[in-house]
A and B are shown apart, each in its own frame.
Chain A
Amino acid sequence: MDKIVIENFSLTYSDGVESLFNINLNIPANQITALIGPSGGGKSTLLRAFNRLNDLVDVQRISGVIRIDGINIFRKDIDVIELRRKVGIVFSRPLPLPLSIYQNVSYGLEMMGEKRKSVLDDVVEKTLRLSDLWDDVKERLQDSAYSISGGQQQRLCLARTLALQPEIILLDEPTSALDPVSTAKIENTLEELKQDYTIVIAPHNTQQAGRIADQVAFFLQGKLIEFSSSDEIFTRPKDIRTQDYISGKFG
């Protein structure tokens, strides 16, 4: 089943730097879909379109539609706050809020109006376990989120996103600032998570896409060049540009 359907989607920033041209793409539920390609290709822009984070920056023009569960997210009457709770995102650098570890995870729920301590406690523990961080921080939940390592911070950011019980998780080069051990931990977590979530990731290199992705979409200069299963893309790419990119001829 397709969770996200993108039809003739184009986006132009006011400064015209990074844009997307006429993207058509169906992202299946409960799989990991990787968006690969050289930087500046529009992967990050597309990810930020899914939860309308692009609303915060100067976007000149949007055309086409993106449907999540069949509903166009650019419709006028869409509740953007609700959309962002349903579509969570993890950024390329660990960006904890300047709060405690506990508050970082409970933040989204508290903003929703959840005040019951027992509910918050449960969610914090559950999501920190999911992101494989609980054992590291359970003794120091009230410490600043900046007191833990970068890898732990990024897992905290994942837990924070999971706490809202989203349906879709977007990851924008989530391991680009991490060491291989932390990277492996995140990748393992994602493999487990895909049973319950739809995951869209812009991996920070093609090898990562090869390790974890079910589907791969190759973007070049704002255009979708090729989209198929991970096996297809890595063994029998149809487009010469995909082949060149994967074999490292450019990047």
Chain B
Amino acid sequence: MQQLKEDNLKKQLRIEKIGFTVLTILAIATVLPIIAVVIYIVYLGAPAISWDFIFSMPRDGMKSGGIWPAIVGTFYLTIGTAIFSVPLGIAAAIYLSEYAPNNKLTQTIRLAIINLAGIPSVVYGLFGLGLFVVFLNFGTSILSASLTLAIMTLPVIISTTEEAIRAVPQSFRVVSISLGATKWQTIRRVVLPQAIPGILTGVVLGLERAAGETAPILFTGAAFFLPRLPNSPLDATMALPYHLFVISTQVPGMPIQIQYGTVLVLLVFVLLMNIIVTIIRSRARAKRQW
């Protein structure tokens, strides 16, 4: 009897050990490709990075010189996307989580938002071409591209913001209301400040995707090559992801460092956004006590 128990225990421990090992291997397996990609890009791209590469115009049919207009363009597009999508997305999330009655219409809106997140980005590109470039006559411009990217980004911002708002304990709302605050005062003074870390995460996730997309800007705002920087929202612009597409597929005899140098810059751009938001979020989390 005693022997049987011990055997059983040993068997359980062995199974546990195997289980943990498998999980550890799987966890490493998911991270390894990412690390490999980053190392590969840094290895090939780092030699290209120089003051001149970042801050000067492309020369020789983009085969030498820098990528400054593409960096500036991606920066403009990201800002433009944020201007349109962040206020609208947060407002929509506040409505959905705090005000919308729980009925068929609201459920349909939620379902639509989830589905919008799954639409291929090239479809947004075509939609943007039809609506902003042609119908509203904004032309191929930063404005059209930003609006297109904003529509693509909205579902991500709305759903993560809604999630963050819902995570704020209901008791805070009850307390605030019991102290004679209105619903809006409660949202503004208590709910939103607590939800900000989560909202920021959603915003950055959405904007990162926008910054790295090619298809939506292809027809709406991206220029193959511009010898100058855009100086109005109605100008077309170069952008990092599209520039990368161009120099990788459209220009024969392109030096490989320039391609990977461009990738590296895009990667650092996105990573910087991530790091900034992680810092803000962890600061806010550290302050939170509930």
Asked whether, in the complex, the Cβ of A95 is within 8 Å of the Cβ of B172, the reply is yes
Please tell me which one of the listed residues A88, A97, A112, A161 contacts residue B176 in the complex, with CB atoms under 8 A apart. A97
Given A95-B172, A146-B289, are A84 and B190 also a contact pair (CB < 8 Å)?
no
B8 on interface, CB distance cutoff 8 Å: no
Given A56-B174, A98-B193, are A111 and B290 also a contact pair (CB < 8 Å)?
no
Nearest-neighbor residue (CB-CB) of B186 within chain A: A111
User: Least Cβ distance of B103 to chain A in Å?
Assistant: 14
From residue 163 to 195 of chain B, which have CB atoms closer than 8 A to chain A? 171-182, 185, 189-190, 193-194
From residue 193 to 231 of chain B, which have CB atoms closer than 8 A to chain A? 193-194
Please tell me which one of the listed residues B179, B182, B289 contacts residue A98 in the complex, with CB atoms under 8 A apart. B289
Q: How far is the CA of A185 from the CA of B176 in the complex (A)?
A: 25
Q: How far is the CA of A160 from the CA of B176 in the complex (A)?
A: 11
Please tell me which one of the listed residues A82, A111, A144, A146 contacts residue B179 in the complex, with CB atoms under 8 A apart. A111
Please tell me which one of the listed residues A85, A91, A97, A98 contacts residue B180 in the complex, with CB atoms under 8 A apart. A85
Q: How far is the CA of A84 from the CA of B182 in the complex (A)?
A: 11
Q: How large is the interface on B (under 10, 10 to 19, 20 to 34, 35 or more residues)?
A: 20 to 34
Instruction: With a 10 A CB-CB cut-off, give which of B176, B181, B193 has the most chain A CB atoms.
Output: B181
Residues of B contacting A120 with CB < 8 Å? none
Asked whether, in the complex, the Cβ of A53 is within 8 Å of the Cβ of B289, the reply is no
Given A95-B171, A98-B193, are A88 and B181 also a contact pair (CB < 8 Å)?
no
Nearest-neighbor residue (CB-CB) of B181 within chain A: A111
Q: Please classify the interface of chain B as helix (H, G, I), strand (E, B), loop, or mixed, using the class held by over half of its residues.
A: helix
Nearest-neighbor residue (CB-CB) of A87 within chain B: B178
B17 on interface, CB distance cutoff 8 Å: no
Residues of A contacting B179 with CB < 8 Å? 84-85, 88, 107-108, 111, 160-161, 164
Asked whether, in the complex, the Cβ of A84 is within 8 Å of the Cβ of B177, the reply is yes
Residues of A contacting B5 with CB < 8 Å? none
Q: How far is the CA of A56 from the CA of B182 in the complex (A)?
A: 12
User: Least Cβ distance of A37 to chain B in Å?
Assistant: 23
Asked whether, in the complex, the Cβ of A97 is within 8 Å of the Cβ of B289, the reply is no
Residues of B contacting A147 with CB < 8 Å? 289
Asked whether, in the complex, the Cβ of B175 is within 8 Å of the Cβ of A98, the reply is no
Asked whether, in the complex, the Cβ of A98 is within 8 Å of the Cβ of B288, the reply is yes
Nearest-neighbor residue (CB-CB) of B179 within chain A: A108
A10 on interface, CB distance cutoff 8 Å: no
Q: Please classify the interface of chain A as helix (H, G, I), strand (E, B), loop, or mixed, using the class held by over half of its residues.
A: helix
Asked whether, in the complex, the Cβ of B193 is within 8 Å of the Cβ of A81, the reply is no
Q: How far is the CA of A82 from the CA of B193 in the complex (A)?
A: 25
Q: How far is the CA of A81 from the CA of B185 in the complex (A)?
A: 12
User: Least Cβ distance of A115 to chain B in Å?
Assistant: 14
User: Least Cβ distance of B283 to chain A in Å?
Assistant: 14
From residue 122 to 173 of chain A, which have CB atoms closer than 8 A to chain B? 144, 146-147, 160-161, 164
Given A111-B185, A144-B289, A146-B290, are A95 and B175 also a contact pair (CB < 8 Å)?
yes
Nearest-neighbor residue (CB-CB) of B194 within chain A: A98
Nearest-neighbor residue (CB-CB) of B172 within chain A: A97
Asked whether, in the complex, the Cβ of A53 is within 8 Å of the Cβ of B177, the reply is yes
User: Least Cβ distance of B188 to chain A in Å?
Assistant: 10
Q: How far is the CA of A245 from the CA of B181 in the complex (A)?
A: 39
Residues of B contacting A161 with CB < 8 Å? 179
User: Least Cβ distance of A210 to chain B in Å?
Assistant: 28
Residues of A contacting B177 with CB < 8 Å? 53, 56, 84
Residues of A contacting B180 with CB < 8 Å? 81-82, 84-85, 108, 111-112, 164
Q: How far is the CA of A164 from the CA of B176 in the complex (A)?
A: 13
Nearest-neighbor residue (CB-CB) of B175 within chain A: A95
Please, could you name 6 A-B residue pairs with CB atoms under 8 Å apart, sorted by A? A56-B177, A81-B182, A91-B175, A98-B288, A111-B181, A146-B290
What residues make up the interface of B, taking CB atoms closer than 8 Å to A? 171-182, 185, 189-190, 193-194, 287-290
